[in-house]
Structure 1
């Protein structure tokens, strides 16, 4: 386990420039696909597209690890049955090892983006704290093989993020209403409730 820190750091440093490069490519694209009179923050547009993509990838990996990868698949089964003797603290996940540097690089990219372009927004102060704590605590959790089940749950909860940003940002931005708005809004509510609200009594 001594090499965990080196692995995470080197992998993070490989992913971080990619996030930055994609961000500026999307900013360039946004300036060309949106008319000059169209009110859009190009940095925010690029950032939320990246956030959506990251959430789908990370959330899928987290859900897979919780449902199909041992030892946590068995842990999830026991949790759902409300069994009393369950170890939700200890355990190693190969999926977490592979996806963690990707997620941490995203947090680092998003932190930089918020500090550069969105630090005046009050809500971003909470996200700055969230990302900062994750960058500190999640690698320690992985290194000590303690709390990985909960880290995977937090990651799996990202599955609702893409729908949330789509319903809360992209649909209003482009003036999309009617059936499409209500359908996506309904799925957003279902996804948020399913992956974030309902599991709470079992997880905690």
Structure 2
């Protein structure tokens, strides 16, 4: 009785997983896994605590004057920006908000009068997340994460491969189940 229930449950599960309807799910899962593998190779996520260099697109937010909307400035251009705007500060007035051009969103994660930990996000054709520690005139990058559409495109062939492997594995399990069922039937018939 219990073996019959398990066989029926296994048959239903294999039918669902192996069906055409499950194919998009396995493709999306495979694409996501592929994208993560590509990111592991290319270094989408970098931690300065592990000694990795931040991405060239690492961006910090600077207020020209206290209380103004912040501007996005590349980390490599911070010194030049301070030379042109001596009253500018890296300490942000608001706890959350957007930049003047509305392209970047920020959140001050920890705040003291002299130090802030800021998380900056940009979401468009690619996703960028930067976290840094800032005082009035100095910045220390902490985490840099950049994921572009190219990573997703490179992950798609791996998604197709994953889907193919899953379908082949399901077919193999079905054949194994049928062979086992045949052997059990023959054994019972002999007994």
TM-score, shorter chain, exceeding 0.5: no
State the structure with bigger RCO (CA 8 A, min sep 6), 1 or 2: 1
- Under TM normalisation by the shorter chain, which class is it? under 0.3
TM-score normalised to structure 2 length = 0.23
Answer with 1 or 2: which has the greater Rg: 2
If each structure's strand is expressed as a fraction of its own residues, which one has the higher value? Answer: 2
TM-score normalised to structure 1 length = 0.22
If each structure's helix is expressed as a fraction of its own residues, which one has the higher value? Answer: 1
